[in-house]
Amino acid sequence: MKELLQKSWPDKVSKTLTYRLGLRPLHEYVKQNANHTPNHLAYSFYGKELLWKDVDESVDKFAQFLADQGVKKGDCIALFMQNCPQYIIAHYGIQRLGGIVVPLNPMYKESELEYLINEVKIKAIVAGQELYPRIEVIRSKTKSIEFVITTNYSDYLPDEPTLLLPQELTLEKQQLKGSYDFIEILREHEPYSKHVEIDLWNDIGLMVFTSGTTGRPKAAMLPYGSALFKTAATIHGNQYESSERFLTVAPLCHIAGMVMGVNIPVYSGCECILLTRFDPMTTIDAIEKYRISAWYSIAPMNVAILNTPGVEKRNLTSLKANASTSFGVPVTEQLAYEWKNVTRGCIMHEASYGLSETHTCDTFMPKDQIKWGSCGIPTFDTNLKIINTETGKLAGPGEKGEIVIKNPGVFKGYLNRPEATAETLRDGWVYTGDIGSVDEDGYLFFHGRIKEMIKSSGYSVFPEDVEAMLNEHPGILQSAVIGVPDEKRGESVKAFIVLKPDYVGKISEQEIIVWAKEKMAAYKTPKYVEFLLNLPATSSGKVLRRLLKEPERKEV
């Protein structure tokens, strides 16, 4: 299998991975960048420029504040913000103390935050000013939180922004009681001067929430080395140059966005133009104004830009590399052809295959040997095999089975979930729960999911998570959630609900949807609701979601 997987390895890419500044955690790369190129641009945020010396000093000041609050190695600190420079600074400030970064999606609502914070025992949260009210609501139910830091994104805006600002960047700054202000912390503290030793492959630097194979979200524990390895492998496999100027639009709280926006600029020392969110015209303006050379996108973003009036008259010729993920819209040869035309030469291709448990980017697409419909070939030092789900034996070329992965970037397990860990992580191999195949040239093809996770707008939605929140409704007796095809989102959530007798005929499907919108993130909210008398289940009471997917399903 190893020979097959390396059959299409590009001639221009070495099979040996060499780390630019050696085997050290990425927060030390920040300091090395500041020492070697202090006046080199690190990040630009709507025209606000941060040099590497600025980033490093801010990271150290933030780390000193955390140390003064008693934060120590192994403590979990959550980031609950939109994309912004504060996110980068806080991420590496936490890790400089040996702390664990826990990203929280800014779309999360109160009930979701309560569960996740208590699951990991979050010690502190860094939150956007507009998100703080959600934390206030649950403070009495989240006893582990010792303090909260809030920030107004405008603190990192220039007097005259160079790009159109999204609404959240125009909010008037408020003094919020019960929280520390991010920018004041940096003004009042001296840089942290101590050094915390990090065991690169065993100390945990990041916890991301994922379902694994089943259940509500669990915290996947990723060591510091995972970020270093996957970032280095992504850069070298994609043949990014040291002179690249990256555009980051994808959410930093998402593992793929984290690699592209938090890790790659730091590892490579390249410039990064950071945007809070995607807007077609703003993205076009950024590519043109800043002469962007590399961008990670989601395919619907490319489609939106292609459909923007007048885009053919814009100068997007600086863009040379565009790795894109097929969420909702597949990355096809036709789409890539249209993108190449409007940019006058940019190579667009499927980004990679990966999951949170492996710090993503387990494959890369050889840019001179693109195979449409595939996820590319395994990256450096990555073993991949396809296991026949019926026989348990190794599948041959073209045969479908479960994708199983092993490399230095895989997680150490799920926090406090030994059974779930044993199910997914076996002898260093991650059993992904995904169905795939490897063709005769060693390219991986993804065919679907064994597990019942729903992929909506690029986000993972766990049925049990949505069901648990739906069941908080006073009129719902039982619920089951599945994914249904959606041309825009990839999948949307559909909920099957059994009402309590007193509510039958007194509440509508639309009222359930409206109620759900107030309780959970938009991508989790059911777009469709259907009432049933009973849910299909085994004799032990386990709901059979697969029966709900059958086109000729009968009322049960």
Strand stretches in 352-428, DSSP E: 363-364, 377-378, 383-387, 401-406, 425-426
Quick check: 349 pLDDT over 70? yes
> Which tens digits make up the pLDDT trace of 197-253?
999 999 999 999 986 555 688 999 999 999 999 999 999 999 999 899 999 999 999
Q: Answer whether residue 441 is part of any domain.
A: no
- Average pLDDT, stretch 316-321? 97
Gyration radius from the chain CA atoms: 23
Q: Answer whether residue 443 is part of any domain.
A: no
Q: Could you tell me if 480 and 548 are in contact, meaning their C-beta atoms sit under 8 angstroms apart?
A: yes
Number of structural domains (the chain) is 2
Cα gap 357→363, rounded to integer Å? 14
Instruction: Select from 181, 197, 213 the last residue of a domain.
Output: 197
Compute the half-sphere exposure of residue 391: CA atoms within 13 Å on the CB side of its CA.
10
Residue 212: the pLDDT is 53
Quick check: 315 pLDDT over 70? yes
> Which tens digits make up the pLDDT trace of 85-103?
999 999 999 999 999 999 9
Pairing of strands 294-298, 476-486: unpaired
Q: Answer whether residue 527 is part of any domain.
A: yes
Higher pLDDT, 389 or 495: 495
Compute the half-sphere exposure of residue 427: CA atoms within 13 Å on the CB side of its CA.
2
Angle at 112 between CA 107 and CA 115, to 5 degrees: 145
> Which tens digits make up the pLDDT trace of 184-199?
999 999 999 999 999 9
Residue 300: the pLDDT is 86
- Average pLDDT, stretch 318-327? 93
Which helix (H) or strand (E) segment holds residue 16: the answer is none
The conformation of residue 476, written as its DSSP 8-state character, comes to E
**What is the SS3 assignment for 47?**
coil
The mean pLDDT value of the chain amounts to 93
> Which tens digits make up the pLDDT trace of 43-87?
999 999 999 999 999 999 999 999 999 999 999 999 999 999 999
Cα gap 168→150, rounded to integer Å? 14
Q: Answer whether residue 469 is part of any domain.
A: yes
Residue 175 class from Cβ within 10 Å (0-12 exposed, 13-18 middle, 19+ buried)? exposed
Instruction: Select from 171, 197, 223 the last residue of a domain.
Output: 197
Q: Answer whether residue 495 is part of any domain.
A: yes
Q: Could you tell me if 154 and 169 are in contact, meaning their C-beta atoms sit under 8 angstroms apart?
A: yes
Domain limits for position 62: 52-197
Q: Answer whether residue 87 is part of any domain.
A: yes
Could you give the percent of the chain with pLDDT greater than 90? 81
Residue 538: the pLDDT is 52
Confidence class for position 457, pLDDT limits 50, 70, 90? confident
- Average pLDDT, stretch 523-537? 92
Residue 235: the pLDDT is 96
Instruction: Select from 150, 169, 197 the last residue of a domain.
Output: 197
CA 385, distance to chain mean position in Å, is 24
Quick check: 399 pLDDT over 70? yes
Residue 328: the pLDDT is 57
Quick check: 479 pLDDT over 60? yes
Q: Could you tell me if 529 and 494 are in contact, meaning their C-beta atoms sit under 8 angstroms apart?
A: yes
Cα gap 90→256, rounded to integer Å? 18
> Which tens digits make up the pLDDT trace of 289-301?
999 999 999 988 9
Residue 211: the pLDDT is 66
Confidence class for position 508, pLDDT limits 50, 70, 90? very high
Q: For residue 351, what are the β-bridge partners? A: none
Supply the CATH number for residue 487's domain. Answer: 3.30.300.30
Q: Answer whether residue 361 is part of any domain.
A: no
Q: Answer whether residue 215 is part of any domain.
A: no
Pairing of strands 41-45, 48-51: antiparallel
Q: Could you tell me if 373 and 406 are in contact, meaning their C-beta atoms sit under 8 angstroms apart?
A: no
Supply the CATH number for residue 168's domain. Answer: 3.40.50.980
Quick check: 463 pLDDT over 90? no
Nearest alpha-carbon partner for 207 in 99, 125, 128: 99
Quick check: 555 pLDDT over 60? no
Residue 542: the pLDDT is 62
The conformation of residue 438, written as its DSSP 8-state character, comes to E
> Which tens digits make up the pLDDT trace of 131-169?
999 999 999 999 999 999 999 999 999 999 999 999 999
Residue 547: the pLDDT is 85
> Which tens digits make up the pLDDT trace of 229-242?
999 999 999 999 98
Quick check: 540 pLDDT over 70? no
Quick check: 487 pLDDT over 90? no
